[in-house]
């Protein structure tokens, strides 16, 4: 037999006070916050990334973290922004990636040396796109490259990425593999 204790957590959660600016996590239906009202996120408030595809990225039952923009949209729903929450949470991740020199793949946007990482628009200087001189930035449009974060400044919203270090590491690994294959007395072909 069920008792009130069986529903204690749900009851307490449904009575919690939610204010504008709070970052909350809920389940995608509308967005079930397990509170006194559901949340609604407009498509424009999901992501900064122009390649973001809502149908592929968000499914019913998924948990989603968003910032409360308004506690009532006129129909009793809370207005939420995943984009705003990403801004708050992403900078910590980006700073951590910068400190740990984490290598991550990014897709270069059509606008030249621009890429999105954790939903934040980042810039890749032409001198850091590759380990070699880049004559034409257009050859990188739409291409996915590995980068490291070299600047992550939340105050100025400045994110600078570099593909040079990752490209150098990859090239060094390939060289090391070739060297490992070399044996004393072996005959090899190469270009001078």
Q: Which alpha helices (DSSP H) does the chain contain, by range?
A: 8-14, 54-57, 82-100, 164-181
The answer to whether residue 48 scores a pLDDT higher than 70 is yes
pLDDT of residue 123: 92
Q: Give per-residue pLDDT as tens, 103-124.
A: 999 988 866 688 888 888 899 9
Task: Label residue 161 by pLDDT band (50, 70, 90).
Answer: very high
β-strand partners of 148? 162
pLDDT of residue 105: 93
Q: Which alpha helices (DSSP H) does 59-188 contain, by range?
A: 82-100, 164-181
The pLDDT of 132-160, averaged and rounded, is: 88
Query: To the nearest 5 percent, what fractions of the chain are helix, strand and coil?
Result: 30, 25, 40
Task: Label residue 151 by pLDDT band (50, 70, 90).
Answer: very high
Q: If you average pLDDT over every residue of the chain, what do you get?
A: 80
- How many angstroms separate the CA atoms of 43 and 28, rounded? 13
The answer to whether residue 36 scores a pLDDT higher than 90 is no
């Amino acid at each position: 037999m069920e008792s009130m204790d069986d529903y204690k957590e749900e009851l307490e959660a449904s009575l919690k006070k939610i204010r504008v600016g709070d970052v909350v996590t809920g389940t995608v239906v509308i967005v079930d916050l397990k509170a006194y009202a559901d949340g609604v996120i407009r498509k424009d408030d999901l992501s900064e990334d122009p390649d973001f595809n809502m149908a592929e990225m968000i499914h019913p039952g998924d948990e989603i973290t968003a910032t409360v923009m308004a506690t009532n949209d006129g129909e009793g729903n809370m207005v939420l922004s995943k984009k705003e929450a990403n801004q708050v949470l992403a900078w910590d991740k980006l700073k951590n990636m910068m400190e740990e020199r984490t290598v991550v793949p990014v897709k270069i946007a059509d606008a030249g040396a621009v890429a999105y990482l954790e939903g934040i628009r980042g810039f890749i200087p032409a001198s850091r796109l590759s380990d070699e001189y880049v004559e034409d930035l257009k050859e990188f449009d739409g291409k996915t490259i590995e980068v490291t974060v070299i600047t992550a400044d939340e105050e100025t919203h400045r994110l600078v990425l570099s593909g040079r270090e990752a490209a150098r590491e990859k090239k060094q690994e390939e060289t090391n593999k070739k060297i490992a294959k070399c044996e004393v007395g072996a005959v090899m072909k190469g270009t001078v």
